[in-house]
């Protein structure tokens, strides 16, 4: 097979999956041992979502996400960022309606309507528009900003066996439906202290997957997660820990490494942070008292 075979015109390269918008089908060339064949593959969908406040009218954030559970993602984002503190603060979440196209919904824009009297501080959202590392943001400032917010203290939480922690990734993988089809999505999952999977959300973005998980609980009125375990499929960053902190999770696990700032946040706020959960091993980075060995 020559290079020209790979660069020619492919009809029907992108086809909408009949099951929804989380994945699409695409024609690909699979190459192995110098031989190539055409086949249909499935790709995780990535599209922008604008979260827009209606009064005053302004964009709160733009994120690249996998469509689906957009209202949960929005609610989780709003709660994690301190824009809303309880379900009553939200009057309505709705897709933008395009008056130019017979009132068609624009499902890449979610309008947020807050209750009268809910006047959140929006300056914290400026970091979602930073594009370089030289714009005055640092880890210390981020931690100090969190410490000034009215965050409920993390509960003592459950005592969880090391064996339970080790089982979490396999349980999560077995329930990652879109990942199994595409190989291209992150996931965030909520477990009880015995390792029973309660909810799982998938997205191309790690932060979005966790926002969907938090938003699901926020809209259902089941926050904070006083006796729950959070597991993310990638690494644990500052934002992953911040969102988990706002949701009240006492134990946060990841299959990959934490960042230095994630560890600092976990230490400062009393979260047990677990990383590199693979097979029968993992690393503990903070507050190990919640993990039982032997």
Position 6 confidence tier, pLDDT thresholds 50, 70, 90: very low
Position 4 confidence tier, pLDDT thresholds 50, 70, 90: very low
Question: Does residue 93 surpass a pLDDT of 70?
Answer: yes
Domain extent listing, the chain: 10-44, 47-118, 160-292
Q: Which of 118, 135, 138, 166 is catalytic?
A: 135
Average pLDDT, rounded, for the chain:
82
Task: Please identify, in words, the CATH class of the domain defined by 47-118.
Answer: alpha beta
Is the pLDDT higher at 66 or at 148? 66
The CATH number corresponding to 160-292 among 3.40.50.150, 3.40.50.460, 3.40.140.10, 3.40.50.1470 equals 3.40.140.10
Q: Which DSSP string corresponds to the chain?
A: --HHHHHS--TT-EEE-TT-SSEEEEEEEEEETTEEEEEEEEEE--EEEEEEETTTTEEEEEEEE-SS-HHHHHHHHHHHTTS-SSGGGEEEEEEEEEGGGTTEEEEEEEEEEEPTT-----GGGGGGG--SS-SS--HHHHHHHHHTS-PPPPP----EEHHHHHHHHHHHHHT-HHHHHHS--EEEEEE-TT--EEEEEEESSHHHHHHHHHHHHHHHT----TT-EEEESS-B-HHHHHHHHHHT-SEEEESSPBPHHHHHHHHHHT-EEEEEEETTEEEEEE-GGGEE--
Tell me the per-residue pLDDT of 217-261, one tens digit each, with 9 for 90 and over. 999 999 999 999 999 998 899 999 999 999 999 999 999 999 988
Tell me the per-residue pLDDT of 28-65, one tens digit each, with 9 for 90 and over. 777 777 777 888 877 778 889 999 999 888 889 898 99
pLDDT value for 147: 78
Question: Does residue 27 surpass a pLDDT of 80?
Answer: no
pLDDT value for 16: 33
Would you call 135 a catalytic residue per the annotation? Answer: yes
Place of tokens 């410490």: 147
pLDDT value for 33: 78
């Amino acid at each position: 097979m020559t290079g020209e075979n790979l660069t020619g015109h492919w009809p029907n390269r992108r086809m909408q999956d009949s099951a929804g918008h989380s994945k699409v089908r695409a024609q690909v060339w699979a190459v192995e041992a110098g031989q190539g064949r055409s086949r249909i593959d499935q790709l995780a969908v990535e599209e922008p979502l604008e979260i827009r406040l209606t009064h005053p009218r302004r964009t709160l954030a733009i994120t690249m996400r996998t469509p689906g559970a957009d209202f949960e993602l929005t609610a989780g984002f709003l709660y994690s960022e301190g824009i809303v503190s309880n379900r009553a603060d939200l009057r309505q979440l709705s897709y933008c309606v395009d008056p130019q196209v017979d009132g068609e919904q624009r499902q890449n824009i979610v309008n947020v309507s807050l209750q009268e009297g809910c006047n959140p501080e929006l300056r914290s959202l400026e970091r979602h528009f930073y594009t370089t590392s030289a714009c005055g943001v640092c880890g210390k400032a981020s931690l100090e900003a969190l410490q000034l917010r009215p965050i409920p203290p993390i509960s003592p939480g459950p005592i969880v066996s090391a064996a339970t922690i080790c089982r979490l990734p396999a349980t999560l993988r077995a329930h990652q439906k879109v990942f199994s089809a595409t190989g291209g999505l992150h996931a965030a999952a909520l477990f009880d202290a015995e390792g029973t999977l309660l909810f799982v959300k998938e997205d191309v973005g790690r932060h979005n997957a966790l926002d969907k998980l938090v938003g699901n609980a926020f809209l259902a009125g089941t926050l904070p997660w006083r006796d729950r375990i959070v597991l993310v499929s990638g690494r644990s960053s500052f934002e992953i820990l911040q969102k988990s902190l706002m949701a009240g999770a006492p134990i946060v696990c990841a299959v990959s490494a934490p960042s230095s700032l994630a560890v600092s946040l976990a230490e400062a706020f009393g979260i047990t942070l677990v990383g590199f959960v693979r097979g029968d091993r993992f690393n503990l980075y903070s507050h190990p008292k919640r993990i039982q060995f032997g």
